[in-house]
Amino acid sequence: MLNEDVQVLIGTCAFTVDALSACFTRLGFEHDEHVLPGKCVADVAQLTQCELSQLYLFDETTDRLELVAQHFPDGPSLDSAGSHADLRNQQLLHYTLNQRAALSLDEVQGSCYDTRFLPVSPAPWRALLSVPLFSGSERLTGVLLCASQRPIQLHSYAKSLGQLGSFAVHRLHVLRGRHTRVGAPPRQAVPLAGAYGLIGNSAAMAQTRQLISKVLRTPYTVLLFGETGTGKEVVARAIHAAGPRSAKAFVVQNCAAFAEGLLESELFGYRKGAFTGADRNHAGLFDAADGGTLLLDEIGDMPLLLQAKLLRVLQEGEIRPLGASAAHKVDVRIIAATHRDLAAMVAEGRFREDLYYRLAQFPLQLPALRERDGDVLQLARHFTDQACVQLGRTPVEWSNAALDQLSSHNFPGNVRELKCLVERAVLLCDDNLILPVHLSMPLAPAPTADDVTLRQRMERVERVFLLDCLHKNQGNRTRTARELGVARRTLLYRLARLNIPVGKAREER
């Protein structure tokens, strides 16, 4: 899997651990099958400082070895380089495939290998490295090649580039659905927005979706906990939109936005003459949400006297507008949200204990963005597309340096901070490429001994990748193992090693 032989990688790579880890991260979260090969060869060129890098793949339908991606800024385009020709019989590539081993040439001109299939360059090719790529079942899938016009030694890159290239090819096969068996139902590419429209494939978001599915069609009151900016209103809307009340109104009220008297009249409504200035009847938000859902945001800021009236609504299902002589029934599902510690507020006497237990009929803790491994880049791309549409501009791309800076940021403001940051970056970006300067983020501190290791970073990528495969196979571990090209027991070991919950996975006996 991703982190096998990590210690070997660390010992033999001339480039930095951070640079290699960033490449795995970028490739792991690229969802466009047309973009991924180009990103792979661009990363290889950057890692090795070579002028040329190429990716060759076996076409599974024609059994041909074809050039699918090339990074050579000073050379011909990929189409003019003969990308559709069968290159398996080229002497140098044939050696790599036949021996299933990397071939490193410190001096191309003095070697016995024919390199005329490489693009013509202003200066002769001096150093070259050709690396075979394998699937999880050790089946040859292609070749990764890099060449330099300078006399440098590339053999130390072989192990790490083989891992990186094999990962990229496997990721590409998954995106293309090329592992589908004959007779098996076709697999659909996983959309950016997952179940309930919630973006992210992290374990934390998978658990959130599972809890939503449990409470979706129940009448239970939901209490959403979470730091500011974690998307509590987004989750509340998802519960409403996917539930049986979706055809009715979804109403939001921030309990911190009004003083006590105004909040009561806003929620319950009032009758004409109830107070000075009440010159007409006014329906409150409970009436507006009748049959639908009412989100009470920042419920921890609701005054104590008003909490007692809310408790009656929850218990009796009826409200009494200000100035009215009788109460009337309403059918409203209540979802409450807060970033405060309500249990502590109960202990301090600042929140009613009986209301707390009534609201917390189904508590749901939303994860902070820093706890959602791998979701930052998916969310960033989503917000980028949204901002481009809103501004009426052509789509923009992310530079590798900007993506690295996003990945290393802690995001104390969570998803809201990320969204605002991305929108500002799109606005500041003039050349359709977002750079670190457009993010206005503090530079990441220099790495210390306490920083995560390469193994931990690669496990994060592997974790998201396995969750993605499990999701596409509806949790079926047998089909997932087959798609990954590994033994089922190997998959089970990796799931346990990475602490991936598989309780809902469906066994196939």
| pLDDT at 156 (0 to 100) | 87
Counting Cα atoms < 13 Å in the Cβ hemisphere of 251 gives 20
Q: Name which of 441, 415, 417, 416 is nearest 428 in CA terms.
A: 441
| pLDDT at 7 (0 to 100) | 34
In SS3 terms, 4-48 reads as CCHHHHHHHCCCCHHHHHHHHHHHHCCCCCCCHHHHHHHHHHHHH
Helices 454-472 and 203-215, axial angle in degrees (round to 10)? 40
* DSSP reduced 3-state for 132: strand
| pLDDT bucket at 452, cuts 50 / 70 / 90 | low
Once rounded to an integer, what is the mean pLDDT over residues 467-488?
79
Once rounded to an integer, what is the mean pLDDT over residues 111-138?
86
Say if residue 246's pLDDT is above 90: no
Contact present, 504 and 227 (Cβ < 8 Å): no
Say if residue 81's pLDDT is above 80: no
**Residue with the two structure tokens 């405060």:** 340
| pLDDT at 15 (0 to 100) | 61
Say if residue 137's pLDDT is above 70: no
**Residue with the two structure tokens 């997932």:** 480
Once rounded to an integer, what is the mean pLDDT over residues 438-453?
59
Q: Which of 137-141, 201-205, 283-287, 366-370 has the lowest mean pLDDT?
A: 137-141
Say if residue 249's pLDDT is above 80: yes
User: For the purposes of burial, counting CB atoms within 10 Å of the CB of 496, is it exposed (0-12), middle (13-18) or buried (19 or more)?
Assistant: exposed
Q: Which of 2-11, 55-64, 153-162, 194-203 has the lowest mean pLDDT?
A: 2-11
Q: Name which of 206, 226, 224 is nearest 361 in CA terms.
A: 224
Cα gap 459→1, rounded to integer Å: 9
Say if residue 238's pLDDT is above 80: yes
| pLDDT bucket at 414, cuts 50 / 70 / 90 | very high
| pLDDT at 194 (0 to 100) | 52
| pLDDT at 136 (0 to 100) | 67
| pLDDT bucket at 110, cuts 50 / 70 / 90 | confident
| pLDDT (tens digit per residue) in 296-342 | 999 999 999 899 999 999 999 999 999 888 999 999 999 999 999 99
The two counts, helices (H) then strands (E), for the chain are 19, 16
- pTM as predicted: 0.54
Once rounded to an integer, what is the mean pLDDT over residues 450-478?
72
Contact present, 53 and 145 (Cβ < 8 Å): yes
Say if residue 383's pLDDT is above 80: yes
Q: Are β-strands 318-319 and 328-329 bridged in parallel, bridged antiparallel, or unpaired?
A: antiparallel
User: For the purposes of burial, counting CB atoms within 10 Å of the CB of 152, is it exposed (0-12), middle (13-18) or buried (19 or more)?
Assistant: middle
Phi first, then psi: give them for residue 356, nearest 5 degrees.
Answer: -60, -50
| pLDDT (tens digit per residue) in 187-224 | 333 333 456 778 887 888 888 988 999 998 898 999 99
Once rounded to an integer, what is the mean pLDDT over residues 142-160?
91
Once rounded to an integer, what is the mean pLDDT over residues 433-462?
68
| pLDDT at 189 (0 to 100) | 35
The residue among 507 and 226 whose pLDDT is bigger is: 226
| pLDDT at 288 (0 to 100) | 93
Say if residue 10's pLDDT is above 80: no
> Which of the residue ranges 11-15, 85-89, 313-317, 449-453 has the most confident prediction, judged by mean pLDDT?
313-317
What average pLDDT does the chain have? 81
| pLDDT at 474 (0 to 100) | 75
Which residue type occupies 252? Answer: V
Once rounded to an integer, what is the mean pLDDT over residues 48-58?
92
| pLDDT at 80 (0 to 100) | 47
% the chain with pLDDT above 90? 35
* DSSP reduced 3-state for 178: coil
Q: Calculate the alpha carbon distances from 267 to 235, 260, 274, 281, 310 in Å.
A: 22, 11, 15, 13, 9
- Which DSSP string do the residues of 307-360 spell out, in sequence order? HHHHHHHHHHSEE--BT-SS-EE---EEEEEESS-HHHHHHTTSS-HHHHHHHT
| pLDDT at 85 (0 to 100) | 66
Domains in the chain: ranges and CATH? 32-176 (3.30.450.40), 203-366 (3.40.50.300), 370-438 (1.10.8.60)
| pLDDT at 173 (0 to 100) | 80
Once rounded to an integer, what is the mean pLDDT over residues 358-383?
89
Contact present, 218 and 191 (Cβ < 8 Å): no
* DSSP reduced 3-state for 141: strand
Phi first, then psi: give them for residue 19, nearest 5 degrees.
Answer: -65, -45
| pLDDT at 24 (0 to 100) | 81
The residue among 499 and 132 whose pLDDT is bigger is: 132
| pLDDT bucket at 428, cuts 50 / 70 / 90 | very high
Once rounded to an integer, what is the mean pLDDT over residues 350-368?
93
| pLDDT at 455 (0 to 100) | 67
Tokens of 464: 């998201």
Q: Which of 133-137, 177-181, 359-363, 436-440 has the lowest mean pLDDT?
A: 177-181
Q: Are β-strands 293-297 and 333-338 bridged in parallel, bridged antiparallel, or unpaired?
A: parallel
Helical (H) or strand (E) element with 423: helix 414-428
> Which of the residue ranges 78-82, 152-156, 354-358 has the most confident prediction, judged by mean pLDDT?
354-358
Which residue type occupies 93? Answer: L
| pLDDT at 453 (0 to 100) | 63
Say if residue 446's pLDDT is above 70: no
| pLDDT at 277 (0 to 100) | 80
Say if residue 361's pLDDT is above 60: yes
